[in-house]
Structure 1
Amino acid sequence: MYLTRIKLDMTKTNTMQALVCPSKFHGAIESAEPEGRTRKLWRIDELGGEKYLLILSEKAFDFSNVSEQFGSEKPQSKSYDTLLERVKNGGKWRFRLKANPVIHKKDPKTDRGKPIALVGNKQQEEWLKKQALRNGFSLEDGLWLVTESKWYDFKKGSGRNHVRILSVTYEGLLTVTNEELFKAALVQGIGREKAFGLGMLTIVGAR
């Protein structure tokens, strides 16, 4: 696995449009692999007043096309495997997760589950607690919180398909309880709407 970081150029029209319509980022990322698609996670992060595009991919792809459209410098990539090897049961990590917390309610018209966004802070926190149980980590009250909750409302493709999704950012401290499940969560993401920059969990060593 490889983690690539691209510093975004906020003076570019393409960048400003993509921050509102994340399907533009998704399209550019996928175009870096013309011979077939593999699993990728991506997310927009902010550090020191600058915005960055993070991309986690199975291979070391050339994302120079993405940088040309949205970035201000060449992509910086590094192996992610070294970090994965450090993950052990009982380990404590600082984390950040941008996710789409939903519950599924049955639609009587179609008899299928319909995703309903969780807009309340308490509901959003309960969602992550359940995800923690499924993904090999635990959370201690008072050591994590919701830092941002925002809606994306945009049209993708030719403009006929309307998308409205909720993005919630969680940050804090976690403890690994099942290293294999946790590693899978780091690689595969958590929750829905991964194509639109959600689901990517990142960690750094806790001090």
Structure 2
Amino acid sequence: MYLTRIKLDMTKTNTMKALVCPSRFHGAIESAESDGRTRKLWRIDELGGEKYLLILSEKELDFSNVSDQFGAERPQTKCYDTLLDRVKNGGKWQFRLKANPVIHKKDTNSHRGRPVGLIGNKQQEEWLKKQALKNGFSLEDGMWLVTEFKWYDFKKGERRNHVRILSVTYEGELTVTDEKLLKVALTNGIGREKAYGLGMLTIVGVR
């Protein structure tokens, strides 16, 4: 696995449009791979007043087309397996997850039900607690919180279909309870709407 970071150029029209309509980022990221699509996760992060595009890919890919459209500098890529090898049961890590917490309500037109975004802070927190149980980590009360939630409203495709997606950012400290499950979550993501920059869980060592 490889993690790529691209500093975004906020003076570019393409960047500003993509921040409103994340399917633009998705399209550019997928176009970096011409010989068949492999799994990728991506997310927009903000650090020190700058915005960055993070991309996790199975193969080391050339994302220069992405930086040409949206970036202020060339892509920076590093091997992600080194970090994955350090994930062990009982370990504590700082984490960030930008996700789409939903529940499925009964709908006669859908077998799984209709996904409905969870807008209450308590509901959003309960959603992550349930995800933690399934994905190999635990959360201690007072050691994590919701830092942002927002809605994306945009139109996509030739038919200009309307898309409305809830994005919630969680940050804090986690403890590894099942290293195999957590590694799957780190490489496959958590929850829905991964094509739109959600579901990517990242960790760094506790300072």
TM over 0.5, yes or no? yes
What amino acid sits opposite 1:184 in the alignment? V
Question: Structure 1: how far apart are the matches of 2:5 and 2:111?
Answer: 42
Change (3 A) 1:178 1:112: closer
**Aligned to 2:116, what secondary structure does the other structure show?**
strand
Aligned-residue offset at 1:162: 1.1
Change (3 A) 1:137 1:111: closer
Please give the root-mean-square deviation of Cα atoms over the aligned residues, in Å: 0.9
Question: Structure 2: how far apart are the matches of 1:92 and 1:159?
Answer: 46
Tell me the residue number matched to 1:120.
Answer: 120
What amino acid sits opposite 2:83 in the alignment? L
Tell me the residue number matched to 1:18.
Answer: 18
Any stretches of 5+ residues in structure 2 without a counterpart? none
What amino acid sits opposite 1:30 in the alignment? E
Question: Structure 2: how far apart are the matches of 1:49 and 1:60?
Answer: 28
Change (3 A) 1:90 1:72: same
Question: Structure 2: how far apart are the matches of 1:109 and 1:94?
Answer: 41
**Aligned to 1:170, what secondary structure does the other structure show?**
strand
Change (3 A) 1:162 1:123: same
Aligned-residue offset at 1:109: 4.7
TM-score between both structures, scaled by the size of structure 1? 0.98
Change (3 A) 1:70 1:109: closer
Aligned-residue offset at 1:201: 0.3
Alignment map for 1:140-155 (pairs within 5 Å)? 140-155=140-155
Tell me the residue number matched to 1:71.
Answer: 71
**Aligned to 2:172, what secondary structure does the other structure show?**
strand
Moved more, 42-51 or 104-113: 104-113
Q: Deviations over 1:75-110 (max 9, x none)?
A: 000000000000000000000000000011111354
Tell me the residue number matched to 1:8.
Answer: 8
What percent identity do the matched residue pairs reach?
Answer: 83
User: How many residues matched?
Assistant: 207
Aligned-residue offset at 1:160: 2.1
What amino acid sits opposite 1:205 in the alignment? G
Which runs of at least 4 in structure 1 moved beyond 2 Å after TM superposition? 108-112
Question: Structure 2: how far apart are the matches of 1:205 and 1:111?
Answer: 41
**Aligned to 2:56, what secondary structure does the other structure show?**
strand
Confirm or deny that 1:156 pairs with 2:141. Answer: no
What amino acid sits opposite 2:184 in the alignment? A
**Aligned to 2:190, what secondary structure does the other structure show?**
coil
**Aligned to 2:85, what secondary structure does the other structure show?**
helix
Confirm or deny that 1:45 pairs with 2:45. Answer: yes
TM-score between both structures, scaled by the size of structure 2? 0.98
Tell me the residue number matched to 1:196.
Answer: 196
